Amino acid sequence: MTGLQQGTVDTFRGQFHGSVYEPADDGYNEARQIWNAMIDRKPALIARCHSAEDVVAAVNFGRDQSLRISVKGGGHNIAGNAVCDDGLMIDLSQMKEIEIDADKQRAYVGPGCTLADFDAAAQQHGLATPLGINSTTGVAGLTLGGGFGWLSRKYGMTVDNLISVDTVTADGQQIHASATDHPDLFWGTRGGGGNFGIVTQFEFQLHPVGPELLSGLIVFPFDQAASVVPQFARFTETMPEDLNVWLVIRHAPPLPFLPESVHGTPIVALAICYAGDPETGEQLIAPLRSFGTAHGEHIGVQPFVDWQQAFDPLLTEGARNYWKSHNFASLTDDVIGVALEYGGKLPSPHCEIFIACLGGAAGRVAQDAMAYSSRDANYVMNVHGRWETPEEDDHCRKWARAFFDDASPYASSGAYINFLSSDETDRVEFAYGQAYQRLVEIKQKYDPDNLFRVNQNINPH
């Protein structure tokens, strides 16, 4: 074991209330597995926490033993920052406590919770907050990087709805941070990507949503994309904030509402969610059907929790993933041209290009209000490379990188931290833009020795 004496580990194990895994222990290999199968790292020790006190003990142990520390919430981060080689992996996945205060419209959420956990608890009261689109994603990582989803045009980014956090800092202190308590730490936490400590509880603002919403898909053949995509771009510039429409270019999955002959063929799909009266929503989305001649559609009123899980089958763990992304203020003809070119040469049946719409409430927050500062990003494009075998690595990564490079001249400022892959450390300062220097100062205050560096790192030096 790298740099650790067995007696030291045994002492820690005796003082720690959670589970401790060494490489020879049953459960170790399962505990170190994360969503992206391209990441295969082996920590010297895994500390699976059950409480904030466990987190304090693990942080103190890792710091005192000069270990590299990684932190796992949902283990969904594309860069694989949940797990490190030869260091200490602090595993929060069992800390799944959720408390909903329906009267105050507040949620108190543990760092091991997934979107599915959060949505299920909040929707029992007809409440929700903007989260992502894959229910197995961890709430903690999503939030710390900014967070957005179907409700973001109406209610803002996930961090716009964050009220407070309880955080364990590098010196092992437990700190409550909010707009009034340690406001500098709270400012940095909202988008700072876990650089300043380990959050053990999140407090969120909730909003009346659902429990049933108008949502679904319209699927067009890819040979109509040159017509569909520009119409999508113009439509989304003026749609009301209750409505969100995203665009996906990929090969058709075996959806039951599509003819079998369409399965596996290139398509362009519109994903629709309307957070208002369904009858009004039907009127608003009617023009989308005229964008082309659809293969089929599946749109109706369904539980919000079901729509939040609709894309789960396309995002299961165990595949090899490599992403590249850009922010765009608008979808110009040049941007659309690049998307159509690379959408026409997808290197794997699992690769896709998706364009998410933001703007609305997400764009009205002041650029300097928090660490997440990309308020001019009306669109986020994710070049989602996804495939099955190591033999495909080179081909699929080349496709994603070439697409990224060709789209770069048309991108706006900043980047979405949660979409940065492990080889994009050179983009961290660019991603934060004008917020970066203040983030460095906060890092110098709360983590001057850069204990929390297995992330999209803000270096205090």
In terms of domains, do 375 and 274 share one? yes
- pLDDT digit string (tens) for the chain, length 461 residues: 456 888 888 889 888 999 999 999 999 999 999 999 999 999 999 999 999 999 999 999 999 999 999 999 999 999 999 999 999 999 999 999 999 999 999 999 999 999 999 999 999 999 999 999 999 999 999 999 999 999 999 999 999 999 999 999 999 999 999 999 999 999 999 999 999 999 999 999 999 998 999 999 999 999 999 999 999 999 999 999 999 999 999 999 999 999 999 999 999 999 999 999 999 999 999 999 999 999 999 999 999 999 999 999 999 999 999 999 999 999 999 999 999 999 999 999 999 999 999 999 999 999 999 999 999 999 999 999 999 999 999 999 999 999 999 999 999 988 999 999 988 888 999 999 999 999 999 999 999 999 999 999 999 98
Specify which residues 176 forms β-bridges with: 166
Same domain? 18 vs 52: yes
Same domain, 158 and 246: no
Residue 454 lies in a domain: no
Report field, pTM of the whole predicted structure over 0.75: yes
Query: Both 268 and 295 in a single domain?
Result: yes
**CATH number for position 64:** 3.30.43.10
Measure Cα distances from 378 to 33, 371, 387, 441 in Å.
34, 18, 29, 29
| CA 136 – CA 181 distance, rounded (Å) | 31
Which residue in this structure is represented by tokens 């569909």?
228
Domain that holds residue 387: 212-419
Residue owning tokens 């067995």: 6
Number of helices and strands in the chain (H, E): 14, 18
- Tell me, yes or no, whether 77 lies in a domain: yes
- 3 state DSSP class of 45: strand
- Residue whose structure tokens are 């941070």: 177
Instruction: Please state the domain count of the chain.
Output: 3
d(CA 302, CA 280): 15
Of 91, 114, 130, which marks where a domain is finished? 91
**E strand or H helix at 325:** strand 320-328
Is residue 403 one of the residues assigned to a domain?
yes
Asked if 342 contacts 355 with a C-beta cutoff of 8 angstroms, the reply is: no
Amino acid letter, residue 53:
E
Calpha distance 60→39 (Å, rounded): 26
CA 418 to chain centroid, in Å, comes to 5
Q: Please report the pLDDT score of residue 1 as a whole number.
A: 45
Phi-psi region of 172 (alpha: psi -120 to 50; beta: other; left: phi over 0): left
In a domain, 427, yes or no: no
Q: Is residue 424 part of a domain?
A: no
C-beta of residue 159 within 8 angstroms of C-beta of residue 186? no
Same domain, 48 and 11: yes
**Are residues 138 and 262 located together in one domain of the fold?**
no
